[in-house]
Amino acid sequence: MVSSQSISEYHNLLVNGQTTCVEAVRHYLDKISAFTHLNAWLEVFEAEALEKAAVLDKQRQNGAPLGRLHGVIVGLKDVICYKDHRISASSRILENFTSVYNATATERLLQDEAIIIGRQNCDEFAMGSSNENSAFGLVRNAIDEERVPGGSSGGSAVAVQAGMCMVSLGSDTGGSVRQPADFCGIIGMKPSYGSISRYGLIAYASSFDQIGIFGKHIDDVKLVLDVIAGADAFDSTAKQKPSHIPARKTSYKFCYFKNALEHPSLDPTIANGIDRFIEKITAAGHTVEPVNFDLLDYIVPAYYVLTTAEASSNLSRYDGIKYGYQSAGKENNLHELYQQTRSEGFGPEVKRRILLGTFVLSAGFYDAYFSKAQKVRRLLVEKTKEIFHQYDAIILPTVPTPAYKLGEKKDPVEIFLADIYTVYANLVGIPAISLPLFKTEEGLPFGLQLMSHENNDLHLLSLSKLLINLQLTENNPHL
């Protein structure tokens, strides 16, 4: 067993009798125990995963056809429901809560014979960029354990990075799959809004949330997307499976936002890496052009106004009455019980966002903040249409800096501003992916972000493959 093989390589080994699902599960469980100090997992379903693997081995050996994810070892961010298993969104308020149903994504993984090995640590309610906001402790980056793995899906990224599972599902509301993928040196994809049903995904900001996929191979990401994407009776925003791939061309048209690549917050090593890569793309016969993107300064503020507004409403359900944590204090009335429960159950970042969201929606400030942010969103949608009228894809960095040290960033506004390259895709619903193409001199990874038009998820994946191969052949001319 090697942790870096692709799903199809693993399936070949299984079919040729060179390994078994039980052996694979044992291998990943060993890795999980070797890396417990990274704190990527909130719970590991050890006995259950081994049992399921034994059943799958028997079925296969009896000649049953293989499910598309037969024996594939998957981790779930702790915001995706798995029936009869605990789920907490890394929050005290849901600490002992058990899912009573499967998320549609979970259901589809299981139908195609995946093995879910555990639930993964994340920022509380998926709010954050460093995984330092979990009620159950921070997560460490396996490349440098003193650095953050990124967030909010930090545990899911580290689990794939350190070979503790083959693929993970995370959620991406403003970059929470792509940003940790960038910091950890793996692939992280946020599909188009509505590609994957949100049924059974704990809501942060419903018009932005999307389940995303972490992996080490583009083909694995594509396969998992194909299994879990598609319309769903339980989520009316889930669309038909993306199927549109424009005809293959020998030369593609890419663009980048000039002011984004010249932004003062962008680390010069990253800017150089991307500039040089743009030259390679051009040398390979494609076109890469700068476009003006005047709305750049507005995207982070618009994102935080709209997502906190939605969060303040979504999180009002955690009241200590229906389910989840309830304060054990001596409250005198219902109002005090709500107040105590929510004060004790939510962490500081979640409280900050509920307060901010409530403020921007309040009668006196609604027009100044919420409706303005919605107008920005509308302008962005129009600009995006214009761009994809002319170009196949947009190239951007994923994050302005590589992974920083644990505890290094404390100012929330500084942390929010570092979402400058990721939130745009969620504001307009387009698919986006972070590809692990670069490393700094110190050996820290950073990614290239690629975005394509809404519902062109398959096109995005084929362009990703093209760019990965371009980088591989440049670095290793013999490949």
Nearer to ligand GLN (CB atom), residue 32 or residue 380: 380
Nearer residue to ligand GLN within complex by CB, 290 or 412 = 412
Number of amino acids touching ligand GLN (CB under 6 A): 14
In the residue annotation, 316 being an active-site residue is answered as no
Is 401 a binding residue for ligand GLN by CB under 6 A? The answer is no
Q: Which stretch binds ligand GLN (CB under 6 A): 4-12, 120-128, 158-166, 215-223?
A: 120-128
Q: Contact with ligand GLN (CB under 6 A): which of 57, 172, 310, 392?
A: 172
Is 192 a catalytic site residue?
no
CB of 356 to ligand GLN, least distance (A): 11
Span from 122-130, 228-236, 262-270, 279-287 in contact with ligand GLN (CB under 6 A): 122-130
Least distance CB 178 / ligand GLN (angstroms): 9
Among candidate residues 88, 91, 129, 152, the one labeled active-site is 152
Judged by CB under 6 A, which of 67, 75, 118, 175 binds ligand GLN? 175
- Indicate the residue among 352 and 383 with the shorter CB distance to ligand GLN: 352
Q: Please tell me whether residue 354 binds ligand GLN under the rule CB under 6 A.
A: no
Ranked by CB distance to ligand GLN, the top (closest) residue is 176
Residue closer to ligand GLN (CB basis): 298 or 337: 298
Q: Tell me: does residue 215 bind ligand GLN (CB under 6 A).
A: no
CA atoms lying within 13 Å on the CB side of residue 111:
11
At closest approach, how far in Å is the CB of 111 from ligand GLN? 27
- Tell me the window of 31-39, 127-135, 371-379, 393-401 that interacts with ligand GLN (CB under 6 A): 127-135
Burial of residue 301 (CB within 10 Å: 0-12, 13-18, 19+) is middle
Please list every residue from 417 through 446 that binds ligand GLN, using CB under 6 A. 419
Q: Which stretch binds ligand GLN (CB under 6 A): 98-106, 123-131, 444-452, 462-470?
A: 123-131
Residue 204 beta carbon to ligand GLN: minimum distance, rounded to whole angstroms? 6
User: Which residue, 122 or 288, is less far from ligand GLN as judged by CB?
Assistant: 122
Pick the catalytic residue: 90, 168, 176, 452?
176
Q: Under the criterion CB under 6 A, does residue 154 sit at the interface with ligand GLN?
A: no
Any contact of residue 191 with ligand GLN (CB under 6 A)? no
| Residues comprising the chain, all counted | 479
Distance between CA 298 and CA 233 in Å, rounded?
35
Among 102, 152, 195, 312, binds ligand GLN (CB under 6 A): 152
Tell me which stretch binds ligand GLN (CB under 6 A): 3-11, 25-33, 170-178, 226-234.
170-178
Q: Which of 71, 118, 155, 174 binds ligand GLN (CB under 6 A)?
A: 174
327 is catalytic: no
Q: Of 52, 77, 190, 222, which residue is the catalytic one?
A: 77
| CA separation for the pair 156, 188 (Å, rounded) | 10
Q: How far is the CB of 207 from ligand GLN (least distance, A)?
A: 13
Angle at 465 between CA 463 and CA 469, to 5 degrees: 120
* CA dist 34 → 120, 242, 354 (Å): 16, 39, 38
- Looking at 204, 214, 346, 369, which residue binds ligand GLN (CB under 6 A)? 204
56, 103, 127, 202: which one contacts ligand GLN (CB under 6 A)? 127
- What does the H/E/C string look like for the chain? CCCCCCHHHHHHHHHCCCCCHHHHHHHHHHHHHHCHHHCCEEEECHHHHHHHHHHHHHHHHCCCCCCCCCCCEEEEECCECCCCCECCCCCHHHCCCECCCCCHHHHHHHHCCCEEEEEECCCHHHCCCCCCCCCCCCCCECCECCECCCCCCHHHHHHHHCCCCCEEEEECCCCCCHHHHHHHCCEEEECCCCCECCCCECCCCCCCCCEEEEECCHHHHHHHHHHHECCECCECCCCCCCCCCCCCCCCCEEEEEHHHHCCCCCCHHHHHHHHHHHHHHHHCCCEEEEECCCCHHHHHHHHHHHHHHHHHHHHHHCCCCCCCCCCCCCCCCHHHHHHHHHHHHCCHHHHHHHHHHHHHHCCCCCCCCHHHHHHHHHHHHHHHHHHHHHCCEEEEECCCCCCCECCCCCCHHHHHHCCCCCHHHHHHCCCEEEEEEEECCCCCEEEEEEECCCCCHHHHHHHHHHHHHHHHHHHCCCC
235 binds ligand GLN (CB under 6 A): no
Catalytic residues: 77, 152, 176
Q: Applying CB under 6 A, which residues contact ligand GLN?
A: 126-129, 152, 171-176, 204, 307, 419
